């Protein structure tokens, strides 16, 4: 009898195991390969309208691509009209006659299209297959004189009235501005940095430099003489490659960030002595015959910083300067604000960088190192007097935005989170609060325009509309006294706004992750003028694409709403069970949760096609677009603050959907997501089974000071003698290496000068010392984003998750056939 019962149990176990096996999906590499970045280019075309405002008017043109090719349109909001800029078939024929390369209506490639000043003609460029010799200016810039041949670029002009197309000579080509040039408001002088000092030259010599920047007859005038590397007036390089190139680099003209008074009598700039700051190094093993060493200054959290920011004002006539006393906090930051570009910012084709202010006064921000104190200052250019207008104070870090000057600078609109939400406040120019303009449990952000005649502020905000995802951005208007708040673009979508120069009209690109993107044109009062476009996704859907699904869950506190997106395989079968992958990025400056339709699918949509349920979700301490409480939840706990919310999200979704296998949970992410995914494996080792962590800042004490100190916090200590020091303590992934139970793949680029490879190497070191098995992938010659090895990394990640969560992969195949097929298609 006992033997019979035992046999029954064995048969039942075998049957259950067979049933479980039958519900498991197999990795579908072919499905994933259908949606590679190269293939998506043939399935997703334009998804938004990017307006080109014509000569600072309200009229604009734009180009838009569909599966029928690209077209160019001209829109006049005043007359509610939209028309094709030209007939594609006619233009293709005309271009073909001149260029001698065949084009047709569906295959027409025009580059750098611009209207002439009289708006009667357009000019553009067309690249041909004809060989031609490079110009003398181009040859002069060549490192080797052997490569003197290029494909001819035709410069063409089209008359909109007569429809006549002509070729222009190279001499009529609009010369591009030298990247190192900063023009004075009268455009007669050009300022730049060289040998770490400040220089200027007149316009005549600038024209020579445009033709040949090594012309020995160019006359330059040196302004400063005490600039050195690390304590420069400009041109201090982020990194320097050793090997005898340093002298060559420092002698080149470099850009310098000057901001000008409107009358051109003064300019200001900041300077900081970084000579005592410690460097970092990366070695590029695949750069040249010899591996090259790059060395660069890199501030790490908690380190002693003996440098202080300086603010200087120059008299443009005498070229004498004075240093302004803006000191208030140790290791403070000074932000020099510049005026938003408008018609007055351009003198002909030359852009002038004006300071935010009037002829004699401009505005800057002063921030303490711990970012708990921020001051808005006015600086008098004549006397150097500094006035503190607005003080912001907090027990957590503060954000700051450039104010909007109104009433000829007599008043300013200031942005603050002082009541726990981002809102606008009206101040007099002497720092007196007049009134709060916006208020309530929502987040007001960018002020786009202020109408002086009606005293109306136009701004973007999110979280105000009931029953919508609080991240969806909208456009609003409100009176300066705080009355008359009006929603200008209703609709349960995320809205991206572009306003005309005058502020009388705006373009609204809107979508959700599960809707087709569309674009409308509105008047400033919210009246719909034109429905401009709806994206063509026909090819994408024909390939089997299906929209992902937004969802809402509760955070681990059972109270806070979290918003996420679920991505399923396009051949999803509800009778099957799927592992769940969480794609993570902790923020706090953003969250890796898409809110609108996007063309980039390589990290989320595509890996779902292999056979996974992939989810992205926010976490407390994430995106700043919500309340200040939500945004700063992780302050002081930068390693662990978001992990519990990721765990409970997977649990809630598994409770709701039978197709999710909660015993097979994977997690992956890049940069901050690389650090977070590894932390999840170590803090919850029995829950998260597999992780792929790329370019992670596993030791935030060796990551950059800005991010670490800002979001985690740094303690400022003042001794009885008045000496100020800073201390920084943070928990690291390496401290928990002994906790690893699951499968972990670490990856890094070997010349990552953002998140240094030492982060990943030290994580590997800790795991080795803890006697743990794990995988390590080094991507040669790659920086933080992995560059041209991104696709290779995707398939390595696919192999890893497939092997350890689906039970099989193609990792035994030496060739990555999916990449080889895409490569063959390109030929």
Q: Residue 630: enclosing H or E segment and its boundaries?
A: helix 628-631
Decide: helix, strand or coil at residue 170. helix
- Rounded Cα distance, 660 and 657, in Å: 6
Contacts of residues 527-533 at CB distance under 8 Å and 24 or more positions apart, as own/partner, are 529/77, 529/80, 529/505, 530/75, 530/77, 530/80, 530/82, 532/49, 532/73, 532/75, 532/82, 532/507, 533/46, 533/49, 533/64
Decide: helix, strand or coil at residue 461. strand
DSSP state of 409: G
- Rounded Cα distance, 345 and 348, in Å: 10
Decide: helix, strand or coil at residue 412. strand
Ramachandran angles phi, psi of 590, nearest 5°:
-165, 175
C-alpha triplet 772, 777, 783: angle, nearest 5°: 130
Q: What's CA 739's distance to the chain center, in Å? A: 35
- Rounded Cα distance, 133 and 170, in Å: 13
- If 0-12 CB within 10 Å is exposed, 13-18 middle and 19+ buried, where does residue 98 land? middle
Total Cβ atoms within 10 A of residue 576: 16
Residue 176: per-residue pLDDT: 79
Residue 250: per-residue pLDDT: 78
| Cα end-to-end span (Å), the chain | 71
Residue 522: per-residue pLDDT: 98
- Rounded Cα distance, 572 and 665, in Å: 18
For residue 608, what are its two tokens?
A: 């779902």
Residue 305: per-residue pLDDT: 84
For residue 565, what are its two tokens?
A: 């997106």
Decide: helix, strand or coil at residue 673. helix
Classify strands 578-583 and 613-617 as parallel, antiparallel or unpaired.
parallel
For residue 254, what are its two tokens?
A: 């470099």
Nearest to 489 by CA among 506, 504, 503: 506
- Rounded Cα distance, 159 and 156, in Å: 10
Ramachandran angles phi, psi of 510, nearest 5°:
-140, 145
The DSSP annotation for 10-62 comes to: HHHHHHHHHHHHHHBPPP-HHHHHTT-HHHHTTT----S---EEGGGSS-EEE
Question: Is 483 within 8 Å of 496 (Cβ atoms)?
Answer: no
CA distances from 618 to 71, 212, 428, 584 (A): 38, 53, 39, 9
CA dihedral 413, 419, 422, 425 (to 10 degrees): -10
DSSP state of 584: -
Domains of the chain: 15-42+540-826 (3.40.50.1820), 52-172 (no CATH), 180-254+273-307 (no CATH)
Residue 42: per-residue pLDDT: 93
Q: Residue 369: enclosing H or E segment and its boundaries?
A: none
What is the CB-side half-sphere exposure of residue 371 using CA atoms within 13 A? 18
- Rounded Cα distance, 9 and 11, in Å: 5
- If 0-12 CB within 10 Å is exposed, 13-18 middle and 19+ buried, where does residue 474 land? buried
Where do we find the tokens 């395989």? 569
Is the link from the previous residue into 662 a cis peptide, with omega within 30 of 0? no
- If 0-12 CB within 10 Å is exposed, 13-18 middle and 19+ buried, where does residue 387 land? middle
Q: Residue 152: enclosing H or E segment and its boundaries?
A: strand 149-159
N residues, the chain: 827
Local mean pLDDT, 10-residue blocks, the chain (827 residues)? 58 51 82 92 95 95 97 97 97 97 96 93 94 68 67 95 93 79 96 96 94 92 94 77 64 92 96 89 90 89 88 96 96 94 89 96 97 97 97 96 95 97 97 98 96 97 96 98 98 97 96 97 98 97 96 97 97 96 92 87 87 96 93 91 96 98 97 96 98 96 92 91 90 97 98 96 98 98 96 96 94 88 69
Decide: helix, strand or coil at residue 772. coil
């Amino acid at each position: 009898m006992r033997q019979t019962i035992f046999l029954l149990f064995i048969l039942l176990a075998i049957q259950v195991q067979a049933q479980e096996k039958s519900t498991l999906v197999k990795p579908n590499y072919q499905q994933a390969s259908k949606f590679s970045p190269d293939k998506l280019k043939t399935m997703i075309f334009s998804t938004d309208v990017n307006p080109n405002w014509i000569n600072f008017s309200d009229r604009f043109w734009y180009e838009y691509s569909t599966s029928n090719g690209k077209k160019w349109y001209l829109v006049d909001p005043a007359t509610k009209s939209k028309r094709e800029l030209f007939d594609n078939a006619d233009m293709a024929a005309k271009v073909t006659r001149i260029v001698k390369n065949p084009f047709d209506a569906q295959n027409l490639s025009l580059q750098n299209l611009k209207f002439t000043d009289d708006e009667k003609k357009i000019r553009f460029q067309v690249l041909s297959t004809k060989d031609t010799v490079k110009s003398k200016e181009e040859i002069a810039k060549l490192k080797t004189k052997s490569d003197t041949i290029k494909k001819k670029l035709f410069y063409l002009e089209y008359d909109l009235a007569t429809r006549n197309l002509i070729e222009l000579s190279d001499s009529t080509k609009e010369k591009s501005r030298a990247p190192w040039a900063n023009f004075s408001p009268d455009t007669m002088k050009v300022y730049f940095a060289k040998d770490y000092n400040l220089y200027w030259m007149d316009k005549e010599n600038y024209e020579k430099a445009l033709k040949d920047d090594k012309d020995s007859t160019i006359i330059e005038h040196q302004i400063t003489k005490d600039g050195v590397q690390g304590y420069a007036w400009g041109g201090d390089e982020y990194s320097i490659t050793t090997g005898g190139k340093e002298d060559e680099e420092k002698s080149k003209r470099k850009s310098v960030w000057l901001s000008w008074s409107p009358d051109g009598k003064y300019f200001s700039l900041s300077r900081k002595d970084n000579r005592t700051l410690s460097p970092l190094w990366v070695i590029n093993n695949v750069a040249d015959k010899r591996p090259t060493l790059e060395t660069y200054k890199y501030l790490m959290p908690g380190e002693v910083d003996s440098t202080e920011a300086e603010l200087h004002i120059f008299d443009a006539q005498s070229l004498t300067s004075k240093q302004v006393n803006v000191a208030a906090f140790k290791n403070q930051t000074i932000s020099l604000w510049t005026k938003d570009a408008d018609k007055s910012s351009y003198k002909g084709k030359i852009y002038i960088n004006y300071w935010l202010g009037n002829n004699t006064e401009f505005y800057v921000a002063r921030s303490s190192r711990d970012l708990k104190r921020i001051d808005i200052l006015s600086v008098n250019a004549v006397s150097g007097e500094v006035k503190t207008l607005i003080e912001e104070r907090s027990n957590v870090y503060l954000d700051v935005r450039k104010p909007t000057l109104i009433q000829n600078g007599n008043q300013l609109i200031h942005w603050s989170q002082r009541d726990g939400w981002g809102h606008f406040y009206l101040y007099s120019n002497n720092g007196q609060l007049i009134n709060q303009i916006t208020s309530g449990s929502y987040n007001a952000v960018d002020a786009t325009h202020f109408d002086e005649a009606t005293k109306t502020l136009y701004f973007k905000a999110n979280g105000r509309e009931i029953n919508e995802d609080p991240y969806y951005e909208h456009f609003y208007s409100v009176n300066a006294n705080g009355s008359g708040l009006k929603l200008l673009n209703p609709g349960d979508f995320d809205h991206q706004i572009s306003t005309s120069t005058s502020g009388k009209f705006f373009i609204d690109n809107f979508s959700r992750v599960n809707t087709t993107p569309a674009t409308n044109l509105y008047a400033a009062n919210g009246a719909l003028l034109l429905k401009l476009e709806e994206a063509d996704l026909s090819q994408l859907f024909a390939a089997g694409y299906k929209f992902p699904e937004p969802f809402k869950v509760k955070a681990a506190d059972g109270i806070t709403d979290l918003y996420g997106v679920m991505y399923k395989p396009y051949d999803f079968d509800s009778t099957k069970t799927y592992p769940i992958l969480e794609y993570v990025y902790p923020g706090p400056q953003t969250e890796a949760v898409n809110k609108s339709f996007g063309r980039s699918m390589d990290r989320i949509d595509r890996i779902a096609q292999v056979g996974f349920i992939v989810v992205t979700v926010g976490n407390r301490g994430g995106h700043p677009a919500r309340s200040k409480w939500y945004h700063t939840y992780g302050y002081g706990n930068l390693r662990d603050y978001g992990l519990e919310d990721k765990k409970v999200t997977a649990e809630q979704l598994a409770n709701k959907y039978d197709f999710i296998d909660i015993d097979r949970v994977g997690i992956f992410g890049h940069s901050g997501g690389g650090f977070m995914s590894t932390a999840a494996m170590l803090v919850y080792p029995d829950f998260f089974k597999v992780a792929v962590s790329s370019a992670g800042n596993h030791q935030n004490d060796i990551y950059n000071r800005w991010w670490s100190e800002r979001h985690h916090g740094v303690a400022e200590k003042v001794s009885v003698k008045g000496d100020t020091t800073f201390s920084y303590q943070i928990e690291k992934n390496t401290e928990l290496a002994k906790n690893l139970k699951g499968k972990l793949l670490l990856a890094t680029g070997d010349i990552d000068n953002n998140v240094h490879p030492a982060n990943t190497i030290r994580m590997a070191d800790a795991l080795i010392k803890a006697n743990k098995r794990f995988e390590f992938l080094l991507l040669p010659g790659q920086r933080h984003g992995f560059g041209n090895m991104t696709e290779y990394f995707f398939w390595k990640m696919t192999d890893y998750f497939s092997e350890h969560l689906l039970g099989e992969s193609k990792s035994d195949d030496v060739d990555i056939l999916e990449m080889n097929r895409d490569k063959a298609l390109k030929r």
